[in-house]
Chains A and B, each alone.
Chain A
Amino acid sequence: MSRRTVSTRAVVVGALLVSLLLAGVVSFYAASTPDGLTKVSQEQGFADTETEHGAADGPFAGYDAGFLDGDRLGGGVAGVVGVLVVLVLGTALAYGVRRRSTSDEQPEQPDQTRA
Chain B
Amino acid sequence: MDTSTASPHRTLVAIPAYNEAATIRNVVERVRLNLPHCDLVVVNDGSSDSTADVLAGSGAHVVAHLCNLGYGRAIQTAVLYADRAGYDRLVTLDADGQHDPAEVRTLLTQFDTGQWDLLIGSRYVVSRRYAGVPLGRRLGMVMFSSMVGLLTGQRVYDTTSGLKVIGRQTFAALTNWQFIDFHAEALVYLMRLGFRVGESPITVSERQHGTTMYSALSHIKYPLKTALMVVLGVVEANLTRRRIP
Do the two shown chains form a genuine complex with each other?
no
**B interface list, Cβ under 8 A from A:** none
